[in-house]
């Protein structure tokens, strides 16, 4: 395709158009872009600078290694980089504000517990003193075995039983700073009892129930009705109890978590101001404190709008850090209180960019009309004649009226068919004429100043359905459960203008198994711009920013299992390393999750086949063929396989 270069850049103009259309520069966190030949690239940060790798090169590499689509691609470099950026940004803010304590981040394991991710995190964390947040016994066990640096903190949230507490106390014995954050007053007696038993001084934190409420989806994590955190009364009781036990010095940390994905920076500042009031009063009351844990909530700009909307955020990382550090200093300085170590539990922000879901398109359904035949039968029925007449008299000034007519005559046509006056062939002709009318109207609607909502809705009804080789429920559960918008775009052909408007359906064929919320040209819309799929050629799409929460929340709807996972890394020489390929669930795997025994299934099928041999229905050879198909099936991938 002929394209003009953008003056001075040597880059085809079509690439800039595609960048704007899909917004890759707005949501890509600087990691993703488009190469001059129209492929999506990842700019992988390494110690020696950035290396750009085309995702299609990775797709080809995966296919050559026997990994079919769909594949969850994890880009290890991005984890390192994010941990580094987060620590740098806090460090810079601390210097700018003249803050007199350090930052110590912890990664909340629940956001992505996968072994390879946690190992990468521990490695990157060791250089920055970045630790882990554990919300359960299982997560604490992970933290204890993965964390190597004692500079890094462990923060235990969640409701804790004696076993959880015992484990945390062992961590203190080895020399880790492991905090128990009290979510409820009931946890305290158990902590005191177990600490006495082991002869260990516990590090205790309290989770505040702030009245500051945040915008966005997670607004109920804070405020009076939040499930977690202590009321002011409970807090006072805890302080009194600790003083009685002569253990007030163990109360070292204040924690609050306003909710995930906080879109509005104002909420962050308000939360900090409120928490600092607690900090000052408790400090004056004799609790040493020393650590202020501001929870998670650092948001990802999924829609690239930079706004205070649910899928976005109206601040940058630097602004977040400055606001946090400044707000704490501003609150404490007038009272001469010492500056606490700042802990944040940023999960989503840290890992979202790392993962991309890669899948191919299996088929496309369109609602285009067939070309009308040159000659039509003479004795057409009334509804078909009227539809033809409507088609011949389409006028842009009368689109709504033309639309109403088309729908009216189509109803007449269908009614005629139901009562036997119109035959199948004639109905098909009439339906096609109607579809021709609707498509022509749809093409004219964008020219209207104020398109009627009915006509806008009709346009969406006519959009294509691209069938993607993946399951929304398994790989993008938040797209289904909380209508989260993720960036979706083709991985290649971006030097061509996409001509189709489409939604994406998944393999489940469930009416909820689809993607129909996109951001195109900066607007939230119901259809995605895609290229026409060419016969015999694969078309690949990527869903971006899926590294946080999606892997573990995914479920087995329709028994589509875990996808293959590929962990890749770009080394300092700029070479792409396929560090690890993890095969997704086989069909036998998913069947065993729902309590089938694959062996037993096979044996039963074998018996049926054997019986058919005895009855002379099939030959022994055919029996063999069948059984090997069955056992291949059990071993196979749960997604569509290319032969």
Binding site for ligand PLP (CB under 6 A): 108, 110-111, 133, 157, 257, 260-261, 295-298, 345-348, 548
Task: Write a three-state SS string for 333-379.
Answer: HHHCCCCCEEECCCCHHHHHHHEEEEEEEEEEECCCCCCCCCCCCCC
- How far apart, in whole angstroms, are the C-alpha atoms of residue 204 and residue 202? 6
CB of 552 to ligand PLP, least distance (A): 12
Planar angle of CA 5, 9, 13, nearest 5 degrees = 35
CB of 264 to ligand PLP, least distance (A): 14
CB of 402 to ligand PLP, least distance (A): 50
CB of 549 to ligand PLP, least distance (A): 7
- How far apart, in whole angstroms, are the C-alpha atoms of residue 253 and residue 292? 6
Backbone angles phi, psi at 524, to 5 degrees: -75, 120
Measured from the CB atom, the residue of 74 and 529 that comes closer to ligand PLP is 74
SS3 category, 587: helix
- How far apart, in whole angstroms, are the C-alpha atoms of residue 603 and residue 605? 5
Measured from the CB atom, the residue of 110 and 177 that comes closer to ligand PLP is 110
Beta strands in 546-605 (DSSP E): 564-570, 576-582
Q: Whose CA is closest to 104, among 125, 80, 121?
A: 125
N-to-C CA span, the chain: 33
Residue 70: cis peptide before it, omega within 30 degrees of 0: yes
Measured from the CB atom, the residue of 383 and 547 that comes closer to ligand PLP is 547
Measured from the CB atom, the residue of 54 and 120 that comes closer to ligand PLP is 120
Give the up-direction half-sphere exposure of residue 640: CA atoms within 13 A in the CB hemisphere.
Answer: 14
Measured from the CB atom, the residue of 351 and 462 that comes closer to ligand PLP is 351
Measured from the CB atom, the residue of 110 and 529 that comes closer to ligand PLP is 110
CB of 111 to ligand PLP, least distance (A): 5
Residue 106: strand pairing partners: 131
Backbone angles phi, psi at 66, to 5 degrees: 85, 15
Backbone angles phi, psi at 506, to 5 degrees: -100, -175
**Joined tokens for residue 517:** 């919320």
Burial of 538 (0-12, 13-18, 19+ CB in 10 A): middle
> Is-contact 74 542, C-beta < 8 A?
no
CB of 347 to ligand PLP, least distance (A): 3
CB of 201 to ligand PLP, least distance (A): 24
Planar angle of CA 605, 610, 616, nearest 5 degrees = 130
SS3 category, 502: strand
Measured from the CB atom, the residue of 136 and 592 that comes closer to ligand PLP is 136
**Joined tokens for residue 15:** 């690439």
CB of 256 to ligand PLP, least distance (A): 9
Measured from the CB atom, the residue of 40 and 298 that comes closer to ligand PLP is 298
Measured from the CB atom, the residue of 295 and 430 that comes closer to ligand PLP is 295
Measured from the CB atom, the residue of 222 and 360 that comes closer to ligand PLP is 222
CB of 113 to ligand PLP, least distance (A): 12
Measured from the CB atom, the residue of 155 and 387 that comes closer to ligand PLP is 155
- How far apart, in whole angstroms, are the C-alpha atoms of residue 156 and residue 106? 11
CB of 155 to ligand PLP, least distance (A): 8
CB of 550 to ligand PLP, least distance (A): 12
Measured from the CB atom, the residue of 110 and 564 that comes closer to ligand PLP is 110
Give the pairing of strands 49-54 and 540-543: unpaired
- How far apart, in whole angstroms, are the C-alpha atoms of residue 537 and residue 119? 38
Q: Find where tokens 């462990």 sit.
A: 154
SS3 category, 278: helix
> Is-contact 36 15, C-beta < 8 A?
yes
Secondary-structure percent of the chain, ordered helix, strand, coil, rounded to 5:
45, 20, 35
CB of 517 to ligand PLP, least distance (A): 20
Beta strands in 571-623 (DSSP E): 576-582
CB of 260 to ligand PLP, least distance (A): 3
- How far apart, in whole angstroms, are the C-alpha atoms of residue 57 and residue 39? 9
Measured from the CB atom, the residue of 135 and 490 that comes closer to ligand PLP is 135
> Is-contact 213 268, C-beta < 8 A?
no
Measured from the CB atom, the residue of 261 and 309 that comes closer to ligand PLP is 261
Q: Using CB atoms, what's the residue nearest to ligand PLP?
A: 296
Cα 198 to chain centroid, rounded: 42
> Is-contact 156 168, C-beta < 8 A?
yes
Give the pairing of strands 32-34 and 251-255: unpaired
CB of 541 to ligand PLP, least distance (A): 26
Residue 251: strand pairing partners: 204
CB of 298 to ligand PLP, least distance (A): 6
Measured from the CB atom, the residue of 158 and 451 that comes closer to ligand PLP is 158
CA–CA distance from 351 to each of 114, 319, 347 (Å)? Answer: 11, 19, 6
CB of 346 to ligand PLP, least distance (A): 4
Measured from the CB atom, the residue of 47 and 227 that comes closer to ligand PLP is 227
């Amino acid at each position: 395709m002929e394209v003009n270069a953008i003056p001075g850049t040597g880059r085809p103009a079509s690439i800039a158009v595609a960048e704007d259309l899909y917004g890759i520069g707005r949501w890509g966190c600087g990691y993703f872009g488009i190469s001059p030949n129209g492929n999506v690239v990842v700019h992988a940060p390494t110690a020696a600078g950035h290396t750009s790798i085309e995702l299609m090169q990775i797709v080809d590499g995966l296919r050559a290694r026997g990994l079919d689509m769909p594949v969850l691609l994890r880009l290890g470099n991005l984890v390192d980089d994010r941990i580094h950026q987060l620590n740098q940004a806090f460090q810079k803010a601390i210097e700018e504000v003249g803050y007199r304590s350090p930052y110590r981040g912890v990664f909340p394991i629940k956001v992505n517990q996968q072994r390879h991710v946690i190992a990468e995190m521990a490695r990157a964390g060791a250089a920055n003193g970045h630790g882990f947040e554990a919300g359960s016994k299982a997560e604490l066990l992970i933290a204890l075995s993965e964390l190597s640096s004692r500079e890094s903190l462990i923060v235990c949230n969640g409701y804790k039983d004696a076993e959880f507490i015992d484990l945390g106390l062992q961590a203190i014995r080895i020399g880790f700073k492991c905090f128990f954050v009290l979510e409820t007053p009931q946890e305290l007696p158990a902590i005191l009892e177990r600490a006495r038993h082991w002869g260990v001084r516990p590090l205790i934190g309290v989770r505040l129930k702030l009245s500051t409420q945040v915008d966005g989806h997670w607004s109920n994590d804070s405020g009076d009705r939040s499930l977690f955190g202590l009321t002011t009364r409970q807090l006072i009781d805890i302080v009194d109890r600790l003083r009685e036990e002569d253990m007030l010095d163990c109360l070292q940390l204040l924690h609050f978590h306003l909710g995930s994905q906080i879109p509005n920076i104002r909420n962050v500042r308000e939360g900090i101001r409120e928490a600092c009031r607690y900090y000052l009063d408790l400090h004056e009351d004799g609790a040493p404190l020393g650590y202020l844990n501001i929870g998670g909530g650092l948001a990802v700009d999924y829609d690239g709008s930079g706004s205070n909307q649910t899928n976005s955020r109206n601040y940058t990382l630097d602004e977040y850090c400055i606001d946090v550090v400044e707000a704490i200093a501003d609150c404490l300085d007038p009272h001469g209180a010492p500056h606490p170590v700042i802990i944040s539990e940023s999960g989503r922000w840290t890992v979202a960019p790392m993962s991309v879901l890669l899948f191919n398109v299996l088929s496309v359904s369109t609602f285009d009309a067939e070309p009308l035949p040159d000659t039509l039968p003479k004795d057409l029925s009334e509804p078909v004649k009227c539809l033809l007449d409507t088609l011949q008299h389409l006028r842009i000034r009368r689109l709504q009226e033309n639309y109403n007519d088309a729908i009216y005559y189509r109803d007449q046509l269908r009614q005629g068919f139901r009562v036997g006056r119109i035959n199948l062939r004639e109905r098909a002709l009439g339906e096609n004429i109607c579809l021709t009318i609707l498509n022509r109207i749809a093409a004219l609607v964008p020219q209207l100043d104020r398109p009627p909502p009915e006509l806008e809705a009709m346009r969406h009804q006519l959009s294509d359905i691209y069938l993607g080789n993946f399951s929304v429920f398994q790989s993008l559960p938040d797209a289904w459960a909380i209508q989260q918008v993720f960036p979706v775009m083709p991985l290649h052909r971006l030097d061509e203008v996409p001509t189709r408007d489409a939604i994406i359906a998944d393999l489940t064929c469930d009416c909820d198994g689809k993607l129909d919320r996109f951001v195109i040209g900066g607007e939230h819309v119901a259809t995605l711009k895609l290229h026409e799929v060419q016969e015999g050629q694969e078309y690949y799409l990527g869903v971006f920013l899926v590294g946080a929460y999606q892997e573990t929340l995914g479920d087995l709807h329709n028994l589509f299992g875990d996808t293959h996972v590929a962990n890749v890394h770009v080394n300092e020489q700029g070479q792409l390393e396929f560090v690890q390929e993890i095969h997704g669930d086989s069909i036998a795997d998913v069947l065993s999750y729902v309590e089938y025994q694959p062996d037993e299934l096979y044996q039963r099928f074998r018996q049926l086949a054997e019986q058919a041999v005895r009855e002379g229905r099939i030959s022994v050879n055919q029996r063999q063929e069948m059984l090997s198909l069955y056992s291949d099936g059990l071993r196979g991938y749960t997604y569509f396989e290319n032969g």
